[in-house]
Amino acid sequence: MTDVALPPLLIEKLPSGLTVVGIQKRGLPLFHARLSVPAGACEDPQRKAGLAQFTVDLLRRGTRRRPAPDVDDLIESMGAQLAADVSMEEAALALTVPAELAESALDALLEVALEPAFDESEVASARRRTVAALQSDLDDPATVATRALVTLGYGPGHPYAHPAHGFKRDVETFQREDALGFHATRYQQQGALLALAGQGEPADLVALGKRKLAQWQSSWPGHSQRAPLQFRALPPGEGLRAVVIHKPDATQAQVRIVSPGLPRTTPRFAEAVVTNTALGGGFTSLLVDAIRVDRGLSYSVSTRLHLNRRAGLSVFSSFTKNETLRELVDVALEKMRGYAAQGPSKDALDKTRRYLAGLFPLGLESHEAIAEQIADALLDGIGLEHLLKYRSRVLAVTPEQARTVAPDISPAGEAAQLIVVGEADAARKALAGLCPVEVRHLEEFA
Amino acid sequence: MPLEFNVEEHALKNGLQIRMLPDRSLPVATLYSFFRVGSRNERPGITGISHLFEHMMFNGSKKYGPKEFDRRLEAAGGSSNAYTSNDVTAYYEDFASDALPLVLDLEADRMASLTIDDASLVREREVVKEERRFRTDNDIDGMMDEAMGALSFLAHPYRWPVIGWMSDIEAISRPDCESYFRTYYAPNNCTLVLVGDFEPRAALREIKRLYGPIPSGAPLPKVANGEPPQKGERRALIRYPSQAPAVLVGFRAPHGSDPDSLVLDLIETALSSGEGARLRRALVYQQELCVDAHVYFGWRMDPGLFEISLKLNPGVDAARAESSLWAELDRLCRETIPEKELDRAKNLVRATLLRSLQTSNGRAHTIGQMEVMLGSWRTMLDLPDRYAAVTAADVQRVARATFPAHRRNIVTLVPGELPA
């Protein structure tokens, strides 16, 4: 397998610090625009967890030119649905339209991102909606587990230690000034990126982006001063400990095992991804084999690297009926600890390298996927080399590299935490004698 | 404007249908195997066998033993998955294009000689039971959906859930599986769809070599379809310790190949796609009754359901949310939908179709789905024009036919514990 060529593209960094990317994507007559700004969840102020997400949700609830229903009509009459996502690092707005609507779509995207009204009544309404949604999320054990693992995995005070949607107790305090202030200081040109994918030449796409951006050049802040975030190292562990989050009536327990992992910028990215995939990434990985195929303990088993820019987590995820919780945890810990010591077998390593390399082009197929991949590579500071050399780097991972990185990507490290969302009595009995167990209330994670 | 795709059509003597669409832009391809079998082909006592069997298809065959299917595939740069619906079971592989010969060999081998043994059945049964606990027993949407099927269908097999009743999953035997395989996994009940980076003549040659010797099966048993007309509103209630109430409403709707299904696609979009959709605007933003208001209408082989799911805000009275919903449906029946709003729905549907065709997997799935559900992949080509031809009068006519009060099926979730 050889490296995969990217489609024709042009990258231009403007004096303001904004990057514009034009990507030529032939085939279907579609146009995609994606604007990323450095306004991710890690920027949420203290006791304001969820403000980045709240702000992005409010963007389309009215601009200085038109009220919310007219914004919806403007976007959706083009056949588009506006995606508004918040990662730990960035907020991103994106839409895809038939090619002939490219100019109108870009106008709409920039208006929504840069001219929000933050009308007082819309802020109050969004606050009530978000609080209700956070409360309802408690009905989904997997969602609760995901919220808990971020919170507990990074630990108190860490900029990544909260889910993007925040906590109910914080959202209840949000006022118009919070969203206004966040937008004014984080939606800046420095560090932002506009990616455009369509049928035109890359230079024409970049020219289109610059022409549209010129309308906002004077009103869009280039750079705002703010205190840098403090990313302290995650604390070393003192052995496994468990947190059980009580979900009444649950007949199945959601299980997460989480340890400090590697950041997105690690130079060991290729071996980390290969080694994690052999452990719990593919359908024939070690853990899927042991837990699902050999023992029938669960329908779903995986390990995943949460690779944020300045810190990461390694996470094991599965679920099983209450009666087999202990067996699943024991098997998972035993296999992961053994793997941390020995790394993958030669066969597993060979298989995983080819698996990842073979499937890599699938992530470049759609307009949305290629724009996101290129935007993330540039914003993460790892450059297009990451995409251009992905296959050869993955295929070149050696057994020694995999063995060396294995303990650093294992969810069952020294600082591992076991998180169980399920019926507390059943879980406590199942985990007796394994490690200290603390039972927490579901409501804490709303 | 119609879409343009140069799909090659072939058929083998044993009845296997083949559809191929080459695209050399990236070194990847997708193979789908669509079998015309789903939960509608089951009977009480073995409900869930279609889905359980989907799992069994990964447990080894004559040439490739247990665990070999995915191991060989992943080692060649591919991945596989499958799904089972009420009507079909579909298997697919996404893969680096040079793995095509292996992928075809793996698929043909399990069609020709699947191994069905007691040990793998026992293990896979436990996996499926976990899946059921995950998707249904501990999931509000799943438990409501299951109740909706049992409420709205009295006689048709759509009455039971695709994953099956727990007691049936436990009871399905190896002879049941063997009989099922012989009946439904014959080449004459399958459509292969290959899309991506391959050379068509070589691929067809390989398909003929590998699939050609597999004998065709007997004609399929007839599906029981004696559903009586609904003569009044039906209700079911679930009590569960949830944070908030929820309401799921279902109306009997036409089968997928009925032209009115396209009108219902547009009604679905007008009601719930995007933030400006009627139900979201009214129930989520204006009246603040719901966290989410979502409509689902999927094409089915037999008359199916048009479903509306309301996830209420904590503390909201379900009856109040219901009456707001009835008012919106009534408005659709009483007033002609404005052209601008109908155009919005048409544009959203067209754009969704286009976006689904961006990937090899998306194109292969759409081609296969059109073949199996509507009889020909060519239906895909003029879909945009057929949606464009729908009028506001069509919307009103179909809304009136679909949403009368006596055809309502309503499942309500009430927060609370059951008495011990």
Residues B190-248 have pLDDT tens digits of 999 999 999 999 999 999 999 999 999 999 999 988 899 999 999 999 999 999 999 99
What are φ and ψ of residue A195, in 5° steps?
-110, 130
Query: Does A252 sit within 8 Å of B130, measured CB to CB?
Result: yes
Q: How far is Cα A274 from Cα B369, in angstroms, rounded to an integer?
A: 34
Domains of chain A: 9-214 (3.30.830.10), 241-445 (3.30.830.10)
Closest chain B residue to A362, measured at CA: B28
Query: Does B74 sit within 8 Å of A283, measured CB to CB?
Result: yes
Mutate: best of B67, B170, B358, B381, partner A, most A CBs <10 A: B358
**What pLDDT does residue A419 have?**
98
Within 10 Å of residue A443's Cβ, how many Cβ atoms?
13
The tokens for A119 are: 């009308």
Of B125, B126, B358, nearest to A28 by CB-CB distance is B358
B405 touches chain A (CB under 8 A): no
**Which residues of chain A does B359 touch, with a Cβ-Cβ cutoff of 8 Å?**
362, 365-366
- The shortest C-alpha distance from B123 to chain A (Å) reads 5
**Which residues of chain A does B352 touch, with a Cβ-Cβ cutoff of 8 Å?**
79
pLDDT at B12 over 90: yes
**What pLDDT does residue B417 have?**
81
Q: Comparing C-alpha atoms, which of A272, A399, A404, A411 is closest to residue A335? A: A411
Mutate: best of A122, A297, A299, partner B, most B CBs <10 A: A299
The tokens for B87 are: 């009507």
Of B27, B74, B240, nearest to A355 by CB-CB distance is B74
The C-alpha angle with vertex A209 and arms to A364 and A181, in degrees rounded to 5, equals 95
- The shortest C-alpha distance from B238 to chain A (Å) reads 14
Q: How far is Cα B164 from Cα B172, in angstroms, rounded to an integer?
A: 10
B411 touches chain A (CB under 8 A): no
Within 10 Å of residue A94's Cβ, how many Cβ atoms?
22
- The shortest C-alpha distance from B221 to chain A (Å) reads 31
- The shortest C-alpha distance from B5 to chain A (Å) reads 11
For residue B67, what are the β-bridge partners?
none
B 49-88 residues with CB < 8 A to A: 67, 70-71, 74-80
For residue A441, what are the β-bridge partners?
A246
End-to-end CA distance of chain B: 62
Query: Does A366 sit within 8 Å of B359, measured CB to CB?
Result: yes
Q: Comparing C-alpha atoms, which of A45, A167, A37 is closest to residue A113? A: A37
Mutate: best of A23, A365, A368, partner B, most B CBs <10 A: A365
Closest chain B residue to A248, measured at CA: B241
Q: How far is Cα B79 from Cα B81, in angstroms, rounded to an integer?
A: 7
Q: How far is Cα A438 from Cα A445, in angstroms, rounded to an integer?
A: 15
Query: Does B350 sit within 8 Å of A365, measured CB to CB?
Result: no
**Percent with pLDDT over 90 in chain B:** 93
Q: Comparing C-alpha atoms, which of B104, B85, B103 is closest to residue B35? A: B85
Closest chain B residue to A143, measured at CA: B139
Query: Does A292 sit within 8 Å of B275, measured CB to CB?
Result: no
**What pLDDT does residue B296 have?**
97
- CB–CB of A243/A152 below 8 Å? yes
**Which residues of chain B does A168 touch, with a Cβ-Cβ cutoff of 8 Å?**
none
Query: Does A1 sit within 8 Å of B98, measured CB to CB?
Result: yes
- The shortest C-alpha distance from A194 to chain B (Å) reads 21
Helix (H) or strand (E) run with residue B194 in it: strand B190-196
Q: Comparing C-alpha atoms, which of B123, B48, B415, B136 is closest to residue A251? A: B136
Query: Does A73 sit within 8 Å of B27, measured CB to CB?
Result: no
**What does the buried/exposed string (b/e) look like for A289-304 if buried means 16 or more CB atoms within 10 Å of the residue's CB?**
bbbbbebbbbbbbbbb
According to CATH, the superfamily of the domain at B8-211 is Metalloenzyme, LuxS/M16 peptidase-like (3.30.830.10)
Query: Does B133 sit within 8 Å of A361, measured CB to CB?
Result: no
Does the fold of domain B234-415 match that of domain B8-211?
yes
Cα distances (angstroms) measured from residue B302 to each of B38, B144, B254: 12, 21, 7
For residue B21, what are the β-bridge partners?
B195
Query: Does B343 sit within 8 Å of A350, measured CB to CB?
Result: no
Beta strand pairing call for B246-253 and B408-415: antiparallel
Closest chain B residue to A358, measured at CA: B77
Of B94, B131, B140, nearest to A299 by CB-CB distance is B131
Domain B234-415 CATH (choose: 3.40.50.2300, 3.20.20.70, 3.30.830.10, 3.40.50.970)? 3.30.830.10
Closest chain B residue to A348, measured at CA: B75
Closest chain A residue to B56, measured at CA: A293
B242-267 pLDDT per residue, tens = 999 999 999 999 999 999 999 999 99
- CB–CB of B57/B108 below 8 Å? no
CA A403 to chain CA centroid, Å, is 27
B 93-152 residues with CB < 8 A to A: 94-96, 98-99, 122-131, 133-134, 137-140
**How many residue contacts between A and B have a Cβ separation below 8 Å?**
197
Q: How far is Cα B399 from Cα A371, in angstroms, rounded to an integer?
A: 40
**Which residues of chain A does B127 touch, with a Cβ-Cβ cutoff of 8 Å?**
292, 296, 298-299
What are the strands of the beta sheet with B304-312, ordered from one edge? B234-240, B408-415, B246-253, B304-312, B290-297
B217-226 pLDDT per residue, tens = 999 999 988 8
**Which residues of chain A does B291 touch, with a Cβ-Cβ cutoff of 8 Å?**
129, 132-133, 136
B288: left (phi over 0), alpha (psi -120 to 50) or beta: left
CA A318 to chain CA centroid, Å, is 19
Listed range (A24-28, B20-24, B300-304) with the worst mean pLDDT: A24-28
B358-391 pLDDT per residue, tens = 999 999 999 999 999 999 999 888 899 999 999 9
**Which residues of chain B does A245 touch, with a Cβ-Cβ cutoff of 8 Å?**
none
B287 touches chain A (CB under 8 A): no
**Which residues of chain A does B140 touch, with a Cβ-Cβ cutoff of 8 Å?**
139-140
The tokens for A42 are: 């890690």
**What pLDDT does residue A1 have?**
86
**What pLDDT does residue A231 have?**
85
Cα distances (angstroms) measured from residue A197 to each of A37, A96, A206, B362: 18, 9, 10, 19
State whether residue B294 is helix, strand or coil.
Answer: strand
Predicted confidence band of residue B167 (pLDDT cuts 50, 70, 90):
very high
Of A297, A300, A351, nearest to B74 by CB-CB distance is A351
CA B95 to chain CA centroid, Å, is 23
Predicted confidence band of residue B2 (pLDDT cuts 50, 70, 90):
low
B276 touches chain A (CB under 8 A): yes
Q: How far is Cα A232 from Cα A311, in angstroms, rounded to an integer?
A: 9
**Which residues of chain B does A82 touch, with a Cβ-Cβ cutoff of 8 Å?**
275
Contacts of A222 (CB under 8 A, 6+ apart): A16, A17, A188, A189, A190
Q: How far is Cα B63 from Cα B390, in angstroms, rounded to an integer?
A: 52
Cα distances (angstroms) measured from residue B388 to each of A81, A111, B5, B214, B343: 19, 30, 20, 43, 8
Predicted confidence band of residue B1 (pLDDT cuts 50, 70, 90):
low
Which residue has 């290629």 as its token pair? Answer: A370
Of A30, A362, A365, nearest to B354 by CB-CB distance is A30
Q: What is the ipTM of this complex?
A: 0.92
The tokens for B189 are: 């009940």
Query: Does B285 sit within 8 Å of A249, measured CB to CB?
Result: no
pLDDT at B140 over 80: yes
B237 touches chain A (CB under 8 A): no
Q: How far is Cα B115 from Cα A15, in angstroms, rounded to an integer?
A: 65
B366 touches chain A (CB under 8 A): no
Query: Does A73 sit within 8 Å of B273, measured CB to CB?
Result: no
Q: What is the mean pLDDT of chain B?
A: 95
Spell out the domain ranges in chain B: 8-211, 234-415
Of B94, B126, B129, nearest to A359 by CB-CB distance is B94
**Which residues of chain A does B343 touch, with a Cβ-Cβ cutoff of 8 Å?**
77
B 204-223 residues with CB < 8 A to A: none
Within 10 Å of residue B238's Cβ, how many Cβ atoms?
17
**What does the buried/exposed string (b/e) look like for A110-144 if buried means 16 or more CB atoms within 10 Å of the residue's CB?**
bbbbbbbbbbeebbebbbebbbbbbbbbbbbbbbb
Query: Does B133 sit within 8 Å of A251, measured CB to CB?
Result: yes
Q: How far is Cα A339 from Cα A403, in angstroms, rounded to an integer?
A: 9
Find the length of chain A: 446
B300 touches chain A (CB under 8 A): no
Written as tens digits, the pLDDT of chain A (446 aa) is 899 999 999 999 999 999 999 999 988 899 999 999 999 999 999 999 999 999 999 999 999 999 999 999 999 999 999 999 999 999 999 999 999 999 999 999 999 999 999 999 999 999 999 999 999 999 999 999 999 999 999 998 899 999 999 999 999 999 999 999 999 999 999 999 999 999 999 999 999 999 999 988 888 877 777 778 888 888 777 899 999 999 988 999 999 999 999 999 999 999 999 999 999 998 999 999 999 999 999 999 999 999 999 999 999 999 999 999 999 999 999 999 999 999 999 999 999 999 999 999 999 999 999 999 999 999 999 999 999 999 999 999 999 999 999 999 999 998 899 999 999 999 999 999 999 999 999 999 99
Query: Does A351 sit within 8 Å of B71, measured CB to CB?
Result: yes
Concatenated DSSP letters of A29-51: SEEEEEEEES--GGGPPTT-TTH
